[in-house]
Amino acid sequence: MAYCDNCGQEVKEQASFCENCGQEIGGKMKLYVKVYFTPGGPDPLKVAEEMEDIGFEAVIGEYDFARSFGDLSEYGKIVKQLKKTLRGRSLEGSGIYFRLNTLKTS
């Protein structure tokens, strides 16, 4: 079980942010994803739900979603999961595109 560095609250293993105080949790690196919508594409709220299901948090700013990770094998797993989510299930045939950026958090 993981704990928040800032307030000590117990946090979910996959959490990117503490639900109690909003502190960033876990990994040294962060995966940022931007989702583009086209007319006739899926409901953005549905997309947000799908993203949350695989551990991403909605973020404000240049990117739409973010998730922390610790090492490259975890990164590989997340990317695979992300591609599967955006390609399949209720988002099939959508006009979604995504872009991955890894930025180091200090």
Among 15, 16, 18, 30, binds Zn ion (CB under 5 A): 18
Nearer residue to Zn ion within complex by CB, 90 or 105? 105
Distance between CA 39 and CA 80 in Å, rounded?
A: 26
Nearer residue to Zn ion within complex by CB, 9 or 14? 9
3-state secondary structure of 54: coil
- Let me know: does 85 contact 47? Beta carbons within 8 Å: no
Q: Does 9 bind Zn ion (CB under 5 A)?
A: yes
Nearer residue to Zn ion within complex by CB, 24 or 100? 24
What are the residues whose beta carbons fall under 8 Å from the beta carbon of 22, sequence distance 6 or more?
none
In this chain, which stretch among 19-27, 59-67, 76-84, 95-103 interacts with Zn ion, using CB under 5 A? 19-27
- N-term to C-term CA, the chain: 23
In this chain, which stretch among 12-20, 25-33, 61-69, 98-106 interacts with Zn ion, using CB under 5 A? 12-20
- Let me know: does 41 contact 95? Beta carbons within 8 Å: yes
Give residue for tokens 């919508």: 37
Among 21, 58, 72, 103, binds Zn ion (CB under 5 A): 21
Nearer residue to Zn ion within complex by CB, 7 or 72? 7
